[in-house]
Amino acid sequence: MDEDLASFVKASIRSTWALELLLLMQKQQEQEFAAEELVRALRGSATLVSNCLAQLQNAGLLVADEAGNWRYAPASVALEELVDKLGRAYAERPLAVIDAILGSPDDRLKSFADAFRFPKKGD
């Protein structure tokens, strides 16, 4: 996975659920989805899907209308190209993409965990 795509994944895709949601909506980008439809399509909980929708909206990848329907709408051509590249990478090397998502822990969590590390002798 190239550096641009890895950076995009780390910044924008927090879970495999979000990845699946994004790619589902990208494939059907002319369609608007009610949140309940996405819950059924992903077989996830309403809370999980709601969190993924909010995260992807904040990343500039989705928009919601006044009725609460969602659609794929990247905020820029560059984001659209990164999502295309992500879809191809996931189709060709799904484990590499999943590793990139799961292998990028939140820095705050790492900092928190590091606070409980004992110093080695001589430190």
Determine which of 5-14, 20-29, 81-90, 99-108 has the lowest per-residue pLDDT on average. Answer: 99-108
Per-residue pLDDT tens over the stretch 46-87 = 999 999 999 999 999 999 999 999 999 999 999 999 999 999
Q: What is the pTM of this model?
A: 0.81
Residue 70 lies in a domain: yes
- Report the CATH number that the domain containing residue 104 is assigned in CATH: 1.10.10.10
What's the structural domain count of the chain? 1
DSSP letters of 13-46?
Answer: --SHHHHHHHHHHHHTTT--EEHHHHHHHHT--H
Domain membership of residue 88 as a residue range = 3-114
Q: Does 98 score more than 70 pLDDT?
A: yes
Residue 120 lies in a domain: no
Distance CA 66, CA 69 (A): 7
Residue 121 lies in a domain: no
- Amino acid at site 69: N
Q: How does 91-106 read in b/e, with b if 16+ C-beta sit within 10 Å?
A: eeeeeebeebbeeeee
Residue 35 lies in a domain: yes
Q: Does 116 score more than 90 pLDDT?
A: no
Q: What is the pLDDT of residue 106?
A: 54
Query: Looking at beta carbons, which pairs linking 42-45 to residues 24 or more positions away fall under 8 Å?
Result: 42/17, 44/17
